[in-house]
Structure 1
Amino acid sequence: MITGDAAYIKKINRSLIIRHIIKEGMISRADLSKITALTRATISAQVADLLEEGLIVETQLEHNSVGRKPIMLSINRHAGYALGIDLDYGQLSFTLSDLLGQPISSISIKIDTIDYSEIFQLLMGQIKKFQTDYSDSQYGIVGIVIAIHGLVSKDEVIHYVPRLKWDEMNLKRDLESEIDIPIYLENNANVCSFAERVYLHHDTDNLLCTTLYSGIGIGMMMKDEFFRGHDGYAGEAGHMIIVPGGKPCNCGNQGCWEKYASESSIFEYLSEKRKIKNLTYDQIQVWLDEGDAEVHHLMEQLIYYLAIGLNNMINMYNPDVIVLESELLRMFPDSLSKIKRNLTSSISHYRELIISDFGKKSVVLGSCALAIKKFLEVPMLNFTFEEQNEKNESVVILTKNL
């Protein structure tokens, strides 16, 4: 039994009710009482508050049986919006979602700078534009989560972003001084793991998500929480040394995992070798389809080294589900089976290994979902991903050279 002062108990009950309304989609007051074990009086009082606040709505279902038509409760998905931002090397990606985590509008901005002040101005300008364009709802934008491809401390200060060469930047403070919306910073691999947990793996207590895009990061969900470590820097597995004395890395070590098994390592090698400045996935897909021997060899090597690191992660954390975030692995034939064939240890245990279907959307989807979780003050969310037509736009910003 939960004990404490009345305000605390009311907050806990509210969170429980909201979570189950989201989980069920639509639910009656009577069924809420059964599922939560709360009295009907408590349910009625809490529901009245949530209706008054505009966070839930009532729907009367049509049915053919005799008696009163059931009144169903659901989240008012149009009461506000969440904004997820992927701050990556060379690109800013924004997605605005409703309160059920479904994308409404997305925009990508290509950037040709690593200068903090210039990127800050781009961020602030686009956030303010979203704020103006979507001010029609009761709560407006309820929160913003910015995914950082680097080290983010527990107090949400950017400790280090290798590819942007940012060191000890307080982006959260700087934005909050200009924008009156709750802003949160989180590691990109963490929000990817959150997206997988919220939208797909609802019953998974130990989920490990490996992102291979710009380096390698590990996001770990354990019992509905991120595994962060002492300062918040856990998950930087890309800088685990797998080849002693190997290729030099920006972190100062040699032979780091991400120098051998990340997508950026493939792109950097082929761009330099084939003298193509802006190499795309489409071009690599053409080479794969043509049976290009060098590209196929590079992918086989990536899988070989990827499996070495995954073996270490599995033995350290014994995850239930392992999700791989990689466009190249989706493109390469039979990549998942090849990875599994390299995971042959008799002491390595996991239930499921998959390649994510979200692609790079997982970063912004997870960011939106995390902003909603913080706004609603619930321990976890269970969303479904609905394919729908969202407004998409791409913008190219030319500034100084990277």
Structure 2
Amino acid sequence: MVTGDAAYIKKINRSLIIREIVKEGMISRADLSKVTDLTRATISAQVADLLEDGLIIETQLEHYTVGRKPIMLSLNGLAGYALGIDLDYGHISFTISNLLGHPVASSTIEMDTTDYLVIQTILSDQIQTYLSEYNDTRYGIVGIVIAIHGLVGKDETIHYVPRLHWSDVDLKGDLEKVIHVPIHIENNANLSAFAERVFVHHETDNLLCATLYSGIGLGMMMNNEFFRGHDGYAGEAGHMIVVPGGKPCNCGNKGCWEKYSSESSVFEYLSETRKIKPLRYEQIQKWLNEGDEEVCEIVEQFLYYLAIGLNNMINMYNPDVLVLDSELLRMYPNSLEKIREQLQSSISHYRQLSLSTIGRESSILGACGLAIKNFLDVPILNLSRTEESINNESAVNQF
């Protein structure tokens, strides 16, 4: 039983109740009391406050054949919005979601600059536009999370972004001087892992998500928290050496994992050898469909080195679920089975290896999810991706 300051206990109980309501989607007061082990009086008082605050709504079940129709409680997704931002080289993507994590609007701004002050101004202007447009609910935009493709410290200072050539910049602090809504900065791979946990893999507390696009990013959720390391820079698995003395990497080492098993390594080789720039996924898919021996061999090598790195990750972190985010893996027949065949060590333990069903939108959806989590002040979220929300994401991809 939790003891201590009454206000603190009330806050803990509120968080517990909100978490269960979100987790179940719809739940009655009686069932809330059972799953939280809180008294009915406590449940009634907390629910009354949440209803008054507009955070939850009541729904009476229409098709309940026995006894009195229960009144069900659910999160009010229309009470506010979350703003997720993916800041990448060449473009910035924005997604507005409701409090259930369902996207309601998205846009992308293309840019041909890496200048920090210019990009900061673009962000500030666009955020303020969204704040003005989405103030039609009780809470408006409740939080903003920005995904960064680089090193982010525990204090949310951006230590290094390779493709933007940024070092030690305080984007959070600079934006908060003019934006009066909570802003958080997080590594994009961490947010991809968070999205996988929040929207798909509700049954695990320990998850790794490897994104394989421009490099290799590793997002790590351990006991439903980000595993950050001492300064916050943990997860740079792409710079683990898998071929001593191998290909030179921009980090200064030779033989880094991402030089052999990121999609960019495959694209760079094929683009150079086949004199096709820019090389697109459709062309690689065409070669694979035609049974091009060289392309198939290159992808097999991609899988071989991917398995080497994954074996190391599994042995180091013993994850429950390991999610891979890669278009090449989705294109290549039986890619997961081929990887599993190379993960047969008797000391390697994991429960599930899967391909991401969210894909490239994972970091920005994770950003929205983290903003919602922070606003609701809950330890973790279990949100669902409805058919409508997935269609919205598809529309974003086409955009």
1:289-325 Cα distance to aligned partner (Å, 9 max, x none): 2223332222111111111111111111111111001
Q: 1:294 to 1:114 in 2, by over 3 A?
A: farther
Q: 1:139 to 1:74 in 2, by over 3 A?
A: same
The Cα shift of 1:278 comes to 2.9
The Cα shift of 1:220 comes to 1.2
Q: Which residue of 2 aligns with 1:85?
A: 85
The Cα shift of 1:267 comes to 2.1
Task: Give the Cα separation in 1 of the matches to 2:5 and 2:91.
Answer: 48
User: 1:84·1:96 contact (CA, 8 Å) conserved in 2?
Assistant: yes
Give the SS at the match of 2:78.
coil
Count of residues paired in the alignment: 396
User: 1:109·1:395 contact (CA, 8 Å) conserved in 2?
Assistant: no
User: 1:160·1:167 contact (CA, 8 Å) conserved in 2?
Assistant: yes
The Cα shift of 1:264 comes to 1.6
Counterpart amino acid of residue 51 in structure 1: L
The Cα shift of 1:64 comes to 5.7
Task: Give the Cα separation in 2 of the matches to 1:9 and 1:64.
Answer: 35
Give the SS at the match of 1:360.
helix
Matched, 1:276 2:276: yes
The Cα shift of 1:65 comes to 4.4
Counterpart amino acid of residue 176 in structure 2: E
The Cα shift of 1:394 comes to 8.1
Q: Which residue of 2 aligns with 1:381?
A: 381
Q: Which residue of 2 aligns with 1:206?
A: 206
Task: Give the Cα separation in 1 of the matches to 2:239 and 2:339.
Answer: 20
Q: Which residue of 1 aligns with 2:164?
A: 164
1:115-151 Cα distance to aligned partner (Å, 9 max, x none): 2222222222322222222221111111111111111
The Cα shift of 1:28 comes to 1.4
Q: Which residue of 2 aligns with 1:324?
A: 324
Q: Which residue of 2 aligns with 1:194?
A: 194
5 Å-filtered alignment, 1:36-75, equals 36-63=36-63, 65=65, 68-75=68-75
The Cα shift of 1:68 comes to 4.0
Counterpart amino acid of residue 227 in structure 1: F
TM-score for both structures, normalised by structure 2: 0.95
The Cα shift of 1:24 comes to 1.1
Percent identity over paired residues:
71
Counterpart amino acid of residue 328 in structure 1: L
Q: 1:118 to 1:284 in 2, by over 3 A?
A: farther
| Higher mean C-alpha deviation, range 109-118 or range 29-38 | 109-118
5 Å-filtered alignment, 1:356-395, equals 356-388=356-388, 389-390=391-392, 392=395
Give the SS at the match of 1:344.
coil
The Cα shift of 1:395 comes to 11
User: 1:210·1:218 contact (CA, 8 Å) conserved in 2?
Assistant: yes
1:29-62 Cα distance to aligned partner (Å, 9 max, x none): 1111111111111111111111111111111222
1:208-248 Cα distance to aligned partner (Å, 9 max, x none): 11111121111111111111111011111111111111111
Task: Give the Cα separation in 2 of the matches to 1:327 and 1:270.
Answer: 16
The Cα shift of 1:393 comes to 5.8
| Higher mean C-alpha deviation, range 387-396 or range 233-242 | 387-396
Q: 1:201 to 1:394 in 2, by over 3 A?
A: closer
The Cα shift of 1:350 comes to 1.1
1:129-185 Cα distance to aligned partner (Å, 9 max, x none): 222222211111111111111110000011011122211111111111121111111
TM-score for both structures, normalised by structure 1: 0.94
Structure 1: gaps spanning 5 or more residues: 397-402
Greater fraction of residues in helix: 2
Q: Which residue of 2 aligns with 1:300?
A: 300
The Cα shift of 1:113 comes to 2.5
Q: Which residue of 2 aligns with 1:343?
A: 343
Counterpart amino acid of residue 96 in structure 1: I
